[in-house]
Amino acid sequence: MLTQARIESLVAEEMAHVRALRHDLHRHPELMFQEKRTSECVRRELEELGIEHVSGLAGGTGVLGVIPATSDPGSAPTIALRADMDALPIHEATGAPYASQTPGVMHACGHDGHTAILIGAARVLSRLSERPNNVMLVFQPAEEGGFGGEKMCAEGALSGKVCGRPVDEIYGLHGWPMNELGTVSTRVGPLLAATDEFVLTVTGKGGHAAAPHHAVDPVLASAHIITALQSIVARRVNPMDSVVVTVAAIHAGEANNVIPDSVEMRGTIRALRHETRSLAEREFRRIVTGVASSFGCEAEIQWLAGYPVTVNHEAPVERFRAIARRAIGEARVIDEPFPTMGGEDFAYYGQHVPACFFLLGLKPKGASSYPLVHTPRFDFNDDALPLGVELMARLAATPR
């Protein structure tokens, strides 16, 4: 029978290996679809544990591992656990002794921690004499904008087509610098937003800045477009709903006395419901073309559809909460009151099977803040590794 002490003991015994693995992955970050060394590390770890696995998925670097139930695996439920492996094009400034050895690339989102945690869970699970569930270990590439999760699903990672049996539930985690170390949190329903992006080109007629009446000024039109786009948030979306419209980059002109021919703008739109996402796109197109036209300009819109809303299902969320409360106490299992407007391609797994994505606290107790993800000073907190490993192992080893 699985006991609290047994799991805690196994996790403690594996921690030195997990920490060393995390540091090794951090030293050698790889961008999306380039995770060859990382994938090989994962494959080697699984091979040493005697875990059946398939590699070369989702562009070549995705890996699936299967740990069968110890009794009647043919009829046992299958629990999937997911980790992402890719890094970001950011130059590291942590000063850590294991800092990135690849200039301009670093693990600024903690995927080194996620991968090490899942390997740690595999090591714990492989040592259990009793496992009531089959376990699918999902190591995916390209979470950072490459749709790696979608590709894994399309290739049959959850269906049993690649290896193992069809998945009944899937769980994933993300290190969370806003939450305190030793806590976990999640919520039923939307947890992270849909993440669409746009490239907008407004074209007018260039001319001398001293004679604007001979030009058609795309800069002036763009300024009005940027302001008008906020009416989507203020006037088109239910105040009880959430949407973000951000123009994050503007490029126009070369000189201070020349009106340019065109302006390019880039940005993102985030929403927490499919219906709101569709509404925001429709309103974006209407406002952009209408305002540009009113200034005598033309607008070209390149719409880059991103990840869908990450939606947590009630049954796996309640299962996660119950397991986490038994492990660390009710006070440290937090019900997130609001979603976040960040995005995650874990969303794709939840379109196929019931899913729960949860947040693992990284901020040391008493600290006012912790470096945020996607910044040069972010580093996954090693002290969060044991709890991540323990909960992933418990989710796989607890009868469903």
| Domains, the chain, ordered by start | 4-192+309-397 (3.40.630.10), 194-304 (3.30.70.360)
Asked if 54 and 64 count as a contact pair (C-beta separation under 8 A), the reply is yes
Cα separation of 319 and 314, whole Å?
9
Q: Out of 14, 30, 112, 143, which one is annotated catalytic?
A: 143
Cα separation of 85 and 34, whole Å?
10
Helices vs. strands in the chain: H and E counts, helices first: 8, 16
Q: What burial class does residue 128 get, using C-beta atoms within 10 Å of its C-beta: 0-12 exposed, 13-18 middle, 19+ buried?
A: middle
| Residue range 4-20, pLDDT digits in tens | 778 999 999 999 999 99
Q: Position of tokens 């996790």?
A: 11
pLDDT of residue 5: 77
Asked if 159 and 72 count as a contact pair (C-beta separation under 8 A), the reply is no
| Residue range 119-178, pLDDT digits in tens | 999 999 999 999 999 999 999 999 999 999 999 999 999 999 999 999 999 999 999 999
| Residue range 249-271, pLDDT digits in tens | 999 999 999 999 999 999 999 99
What is the SS3 assignment for 327?
Answer: helix
Per-residue CA distances from 193 to 85, 142, 243, 270 (Å): 21, 18, 9, 6
Q: How many Cα neighbours within 13 Å face the side chain of 56?
A: 3
pLDDT of residue 96: 98
Q: Out of 84, 86, 168, 283, which one is annotated catalytic?
A: 86
Mean pLDDT for the stretch of residues 87-97: 98
Asked if 300 and 245 count as a contact pair (C-beta separation under 8 A), the reply is no
The pLDDT > 70 percentage for the chain reads 99
What is the SS3 assignment for 273?
Answer: coil
- For residue 86, indicate whether it is catalytic: yes
* Mean pLDDT over each residue of the chain, to the nearest integer: 97
DSSP state letter for 88: B
Q: Facing residues of 135 across strands?
A: 67, 79
